[in-house]
Amino acid sequence: MNDLELYFRENKGRLIHKCVNYFDIYDQYFSIYRNREIVILEIGVNHGGSLQMWKHYFGSKAKILGIDINPECKKFEGENVKIFIGSQSDRSFLKSIIAQIPPIDILIDDGGHNMQQQIRTFEELFDHVKKDGIYICEDLHSSYRLGYGGGYKRRGTFIEYSKNFIDQLNAYYSEQGSLKVNSFTKSVKGLHYYNGMLVIEKGEVPNFQDEKTGQPALSSDVLETNIPKGLYKLAYLALYTTNSILRFFRLPGIRWR
């Protein structure tokens, strides 16, 4: 059991409410930040227990920030812990927070969990996460639950919204104007979907760059086509044209073999 889960299990202090599978994920991404001067922002303070847990885990050099809509949460402020009161749905409130805080190393959205909140929070705060930082959106179950306006492949859910991140991450390879490289493409290293949680790992990734090392050991490469050399250009042109028509209709493409 990692230190975070241990703290959670032995907690007799303020209430913490977390899904138990999160602790391993947290520890996997957060352990390198321990005992460093970092800024962590958690949206959703509730009884203040998770902020205490972060303080304990990251150590005295960490700056712990919280956002909650409930004004009572202000009482959980203390040494290295600052709480902002307001709604994560309120873009101007979120903008005002950015103006007051340093760039964030770790952001955890554990607030109201409805889709509008998750999307607006991402749109307003993602760029304020450092270029090697971590952005986490928790409790993605809301995207599937009717009570939150969710549903399988339902428009407007955070899950549907975040599926576009996968394309954006790979936009370097796009040959279509409808998918272009943007700041997300340039600043995100990885998207990690877990049960109930999305971890967005920031980090600069160079454009597609592959290399070969060592000596070839096959007499023929299976990746090469078996089409006679003379017909290769013609066949390729036919394939290319057919595939661009199929692509227009979003139909599956065809290959040589």
Report the residue number, 10 or 211, with the smaller CB distance to ligand SAM. 10
Report the residue number, 33 or 84, with the smaller CB distance to ligand SAM. 84
State the DSSP code for 26. Answer: H
Closest contact distance (angstroms) between CB of 139 and ligand SAM is 7
Closest contact distance (angstroms) between CB of 113 and ligand SAM is 7
Of 56, 31, 29, 53, the C-alpha closest to 42 is: 53
For 139, the 3-state DSSP assignment is coil
Q: Residue 40 in contact with residue 104, Cβ under 8 Å?
A: yes
Report the residue number, 66 or 133, with the smaller CB distance to ligand SAM. 66
Closest contact distance (angstroms) between CB of 205 and ligand SAM is 31
**Whose CB is nearest to ligand SAM?**
112
Closest contact distance (angstroms) between CB of 159 and ligand SAM is 18
Q: What are the structure tokens assigned to 241, written together?
A: 């044209």
Q: Residue 196 in contact with residue 160, Cβ under 8 Å?
A: no
Closest contact distance (angstroms) between CB of 84 and ligand SAM is 9
Report the residue number, 161 or 172, with the smaller CB distance to ligand SAM. 161
Please name the residues in contact with 151: beta carbons below 8 A apart, sequence gap of 6 or more. Answer: 144, 157
Long-range CB contact pairs, 183-188, < 8 A, 24+: 183/127, 187/131
Q: What is the DSSP string of 209-236?
A: -----S----SS-TTS--S-GGGHHHHH
Closest contact distance (angstroms) between CB of 223 and ligand SAM is 50
Report the Cα 71 to chain-centroid distance in Å: 28
Cα(50)–Cα(27) distance, integer angstroms = 14
Report the residue number, 87 or 174, with the smaller CB distance to ligand SAM. 87
Closest contact distance (angstroms) between CB of 50 and ligand SAM is 3
User: Applying CB under 6 A, which residues contact ligand SAM?
Assistant: 16-18, 42-46, 49-50, 67-70, 87-89, 110-112, 117
Alpha carbon separation from 95 to 87, 90, 177, 181, 220 (Å, rounded): 11, 9, 31, 25, 59
Report the residue number, 100 or 213, with the smaller CB distance to ligand SAM. 100
Report the residue number, 69 or 188, with the smaller CB distance to ligand SAM. 69
Q: What are the structure tokens assigned to 59, written together?
A: 């150590």
